[in-house]
Amino acid sequence: MSGVDDYKVEPGGRLSGTIRVPGDKSISHRSIMLGSLAQGTTQVTGFLEGEDALATMNIFRSLGVDIQGPDQGRVTIRGVGLHGLSAPERVLDCGNSGTSMRLLAGLLAGQTFDCELTGDDSLVQRPMSRVAIPLRLMGARVNTAAQGRPPLHIQGNPQLQGITYTLPMASAQVKSCLLLAGLYAQGETVVTEPEITRDHTERMLTAFGVTVLREGRSVRLNGGQSLRSTAIEVPADISSAAFFLVGATIAPASDLVLTHVGINPTRTGILDILRLMGADITVEREWQAGGEPLADLRVRSSSLKGIDIPQQYVPLAIDEFPALFVAAACAQGRTVLRGAAELRVKESDRIQVMADGLRALGVGVSVLTDGLIIEGQGGGFTGGEIDSHGDHRIAMSFAMAGLRASAPVRIRDCANVATSFPGFLEMARQAGLQIFGA
């Protein structure tokens, strides 16, 4: 693990200028996975040089793939083809990354070799039965530790069978796991999701020449299709932009432009929710790259009002709730989130950890099993000390609270910010936050 352990944020400030946040984490993972399975060389630009995506990259090197980079976001992958991976010599370490572990479980289930996937203290607490159960229905031999937790032991089975499966929870990781296993399965794999989740796997498989069909909430593909190498341009991560969208909204006199932000409609719940609350976010320029839409976004300060967050936005903003809770605390009136129990099984229990942190900064909250009620007073925060529980998004969300605090905010256990946002401190300071490693 690298990065600064604690942050200290001096109160006040405003955000301005033009910034480009690092590359999209979800798309970066998938570029390594699909580039490795393709025939030919895949060039990636804008790759996220954060610890999670680097964990995926190192795993594919252990599986025998020649990957050059990253060098300023450029990565060159010499694909080995669908059946070209080789047995790893050691345990595959996914670090903090649930995406690595869950997607790899599917991709590795149909190989001719065995492997073991593990991770850090946070990842080994996270639920893996959600992938192990449907993979077993496909004929995979996947064992978890007690209570369905990592490590995962996978005995390769090149005879997987396609399945028709309805996900019990809205999870792009589980959907993607099954689609990747489906590439190795006989026949068709059909995955139906209870609510639409991010569709980067489907889009990128299509860019690599695989036929993937979507009908409503179902996605289907036939096994045995080969992937053709391509060029992947990774947009800036809207989940990393989220902290700045909230910061510039809540800090008076802010006017900030975020460039190259991925605005895939399965990821833009943050924009819809902030706009419903009264935020001033405009699209300055919009274009497409590699099947994904991008935009430059301009955000200016505005007064927010509390809202009941519409259920349809929950999976489309699932990683942005820590930042949205900080916005809600500055709004006038009550904000209610329900139907978001998935937040409890992220890198931390994001409902409880955010509730504790908001209370520590003087905000009234009520904890629900599947959400949170925040009593916005239209004011800001007291100073105080926050424990981020090693969760990158909690740390960065509370960093933005400093913009509306009356005294310094100290945030503990921030080293994992490097999993998704290398250079966060420098970029936040460049934009106007008075934040320091402590």
β-sheet with 364-368: strand ranges across: 332-337, 371-377, 364-368
Minimum Å distance from CB 13 to ligand S3P? 28
Interaction of residue 350 with ligand S3P, rule CB under 6 A: no
3-state secondary structure of 326: helix
Q: How far apart are CA 198 and CA 176, in angstroms?
A: 10
Helix-strand-coil percent breakdown of the chain, rounded to 5? 35, 30, 35
Q: End-to-end CA distance of the chain: give it in Å, rounded.
A: 17
Q: Which listed range, 35-43, 151-159, 169-177, 259-267, lies at the site for ligand S3P (CB under 6 A)?
A: 169-177
Strands (E), 270-346: 280-289, 292-300, 332-337
26 or 254: whose CB is closer to ligand S3P? 26
Q: Give the DSSP per-residue string, 375-436.
A: EEESS-B--EEEE-TT-HHHHHHHHHHGGGBSS-EEEE--GGGGGT-TTHHHHHHHHT--EE
Site for ligand S3P, residues 217 to 256, rule: CB under 6 A: none
What torsion do the CA atoms of 204, 208, 213, 214 make, to the nearest 10 degrees?
10
Host H or E run for residue 35: helix 25-37
Q: Nearest to residue 105, comparing CAs of 149, 66, 75?
A: 149
Provide, rounded to whole angstroms, the least separation between the CB of residue 169 and ligand S3P.
8
In the complex with ligand S3P, the residue whose CB is nearer, 233 or 296, is: 233
CB-based contact 372:337 (threshold 8 Å): yes
93 is catalytic: no
Q: How far is the CB of 34 from ligand S3P (least distance, A)?
A: 13
Q: Should residue 171 be labelled a site residue for ligand S3P when binding is judged by CB under 6 A? A: yes
Taking CB under 6 A as the rule, does residue 198 contact ligand S3P? yes
Minimum distance, C-beta of residue 378 to ligand S3P, in the bound complex (Å)? 30
Residue 176 within binding range of ligand S3P, rule CB under 6 A: yes
Query: In the complex with ligand S3P, which residue's Cβ is closer, 319 or 413?
Result: 319
Q: Least distance in Å: CB of 35 to ligand S3P?
A: 16
Nearer to ligand S3P among residue 84 and residue 148 (C-beta): 148
The number of angstroms, rounded, from the C-alpha of 241 to the middle of its chain's C-alpha atoms is 12
Task: Candidates 108-116, 142-150, 168-176, 323-331: pick the segment binding ligand S3P (CB under 6 A).
Answer: 168-176
Binding characters for ligand S3P, 126-165, by CB under 6 A (x = yes): ----------------------------------------
Beta carbon nearer to ligand S3P, 342 or 385: 342
Asked if residue 119 lies in contact with residue 347, where contact means CB atoms within 8 angstroms, the answer is: no
The stretch near ligand S3P (CB under 6 A) out of 33-41, 80-88, 167-175, 227-235 is 167-175
Q: If residue 228 lies in a helix (H) or strand (E), which one and from where to where?
A: strand 227-228
Site for ligand S3P (CB under 6 A): which residue of 42, 45, 173, 264?
A: 173
Number of C-alpha atoms within 13 angstroms, CB side, residue 419?
29
- Structure tokens that stand for 214 in this block: 């979507």
Residue 99 as a binder of ligand S3P (CB under 6 A): the answer is: yes
Output the smallest distance, CB 109 to ligand S3P, in A. Answer: 17
Give the nearest distance from C-beta 126 to ligand S3P in angstroms.
9
Judged by CB under 6 A, how many residues of this single chain contact ligand S3P? Answer: 10
How does DSSP classify residue 266?
T
Q: Which of 319, 387, 391, 413 is catalytic?
A: 319
172 binds ligand S3P (CB under 6 A): yes
Alpha helices (runs of H) in 86-171, residue ranges in sequence order: 98-109, 129-137
Which residues from 306-335 bind ligand S3P, rule CB under 6 A? 318-319
Is 342 among the residues that bind ligand S3P (CB under 6 A)?
yes
Question: Could you tell me which of 57, 24, 9, 4 has the C-alpha nearest to residue 289?
Answer: 24
- Residues marked as catalytic: 319
Give the interface with ligand S3P as residue ranges (CB under 6 A): 26, 99, 171-173, 176, 198, 318-319, 342
